[in-house]
């Protein structure tokens, strides 16, 4: 449930960055206004208030960095060790545009966020779906990752490969 709200908020923030910055400023000033009414030693209050605001801004910045991180995903349909390249496979990331990959082809797509959902439909020579694979992948802090589709379809544990760069 939290991830759905996070996606909705992130989509809105990406579509309206100026409004999001304005709302963040309003929230900070509202917090300052609320903290103004607390009555204990004024000297400590001002020091404490600044520390809270600074910590809040650092946390907000780290959270926005984490959910707004862009990753390049290399979808690789080439033969890898024991896994032969697939005749045809359709792949979508986060339910977006479907990418058609034939044998020995590599495509690059970009995703935003701490994780994404990969859905792959493997076809045979006659154009019929053999297998449908759905995985949630967390790229962590890496900017680029490569996914071997033959290894994924073959059930390999390590289908994420180092970036080709």
- Among 123, 131, 126, 125, CA closest to 153: 131
Summarised one tens digit per residue, pLDDT across range 88-131 is 999 999 988 999 999 899 999 999 888 999 999 999 888 899 99
Place of tokens 């600074």: 54
Can you give the C-alpha Rg of the chain in angstroms? 23
Q: Which helix (H) or strand (E) holds 110?
A: strand 105-112
Residues 144, 141: Cα–Cα separation, whole Å: 9
Residues 75, 92: Cα–Cα separation, whole Å: 10
Q: How many CB atoms lie within 10 A of CB 116?
A: 19
pTM reported for the whole predicted model: 0.67
Residues 6, 13: Cα–Cα separation, whole Å: 10
Range 70-161 has CATH code 2.60.40: yes
CA distances from 102 to 15, 77, 114, 149 (A): 34, 7, 28, 11
What is the structure's pLDDT at 37?
Answer: 61
Residues 31, 36: Cα–Cα separation, whole Å: 9
What is the structure's pLDDT at 118?
Answer: 94
């Amino acid at each position: 449930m939290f991830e759905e709200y996070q996606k909705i908020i992130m989509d809105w923030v990406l579509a309206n960055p100026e409004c999001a910055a304005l709302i963040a400023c309003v929230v900070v000033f509202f917090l300052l206004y609320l903290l103004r009414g607390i009555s204990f030693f004024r000297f400590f209050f001002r020091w404490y208030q600044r520390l809270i605001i600074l910590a809040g801004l650092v946390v907000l910045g780290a959270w926005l960095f984490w959910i707004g991180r862009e990753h390049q995903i290399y979808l690789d349909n080439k033969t890898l060790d024991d896994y032969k390249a697939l005749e045809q496979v359709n792949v979508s990331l986060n339910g977006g545009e479907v990418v058609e990959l034939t044998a020995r082809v590599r495509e690059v797509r970009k995703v935003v966020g701490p994780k994404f959902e990969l859905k792959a439909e493997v076809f045979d020579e006659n154009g019929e779906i053999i297998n449908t694979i759905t995985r949630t992948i967390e790229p962590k802090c890496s900017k680029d990752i490569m996914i071997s589709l033959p290894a994924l379809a073959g059930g390999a544990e390590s289908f994420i490969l180092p970036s080709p760069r």
